[in-house]
Structure 1
Amino acid sequence: MHVVVLRRKVYERHRWLARSLYDAFERARALCAEGIDESAAPRYMLPWLHDEVARTRALLGDDYWTYGLERNRHVLRTFLDYAYEQGLIIRRPQPEELFAPETLATTII
């Protein structure tokens, strides 16, 4: 749905920033999704929200805004294939090449 990009100069000076930015967006997504389907005291002022959330989850599953490489690999591969076939890029990169290496590994402490 959205792409987040770091300027190469900033990334090269502060490589930790890529992972911190990814983690911040992941946390923001979790906070936004928390309680979105609460019907007793809604957090969001939208009519029919409960029905829309239920319908969205029925169609797309609980994780309908997926983050990261593995959960989006098939979409990224298709995107890169089309871009290559249509002459928008001169070589067909692997999806991993689109991500800072720091964002690919998950560390649990």
Structure 2
Amino acid sequence: MKRPRLLSVAEVAAELDASEAYVRRLLLRQRLYGTKLGFVWVIYPDDLEAFKLLRRPPGRPRKTVEGADKASLADIAGERNRAGTDRLLRQRRRMPVGPPRGRRRLRSRSKRG
């Protein structure tokens, strides 16, 4: 029976194009499976391939706005408008009806000589 070649943290980091600290963090959080032999982590190639299949691609997901989404966004905007809330779901500030309030003027100090 042929045993698979075990991979080190450095090899896995190079394969994932990531840092060794990131790979160790994945191992500690059990998102990537491996075995600790003494002070060294070893990872089976099959476990690395399984992780690659389940791994979320890095970066922010792309926005997808389709026709149905535009209609639902319009419905949401209408509901927010009727409720009097803004995009952050806060009540809009009501503007005071009276005269505008300005800054109070500070009196200048006379120079003492």
TM class by shorter-chain length? Answer: under 0.3
**Could you say which structure has the larger radius of gyration?**
2
TM normalised by structure 1 equals 0.21
Q: Which has the higher strand share?
A: 2
TM-score (norm 2): 0.20
Structure ranking higher in helix proportion: 1
Structure number with greater CO (CA < 8 Å, separation at least 6) is 1
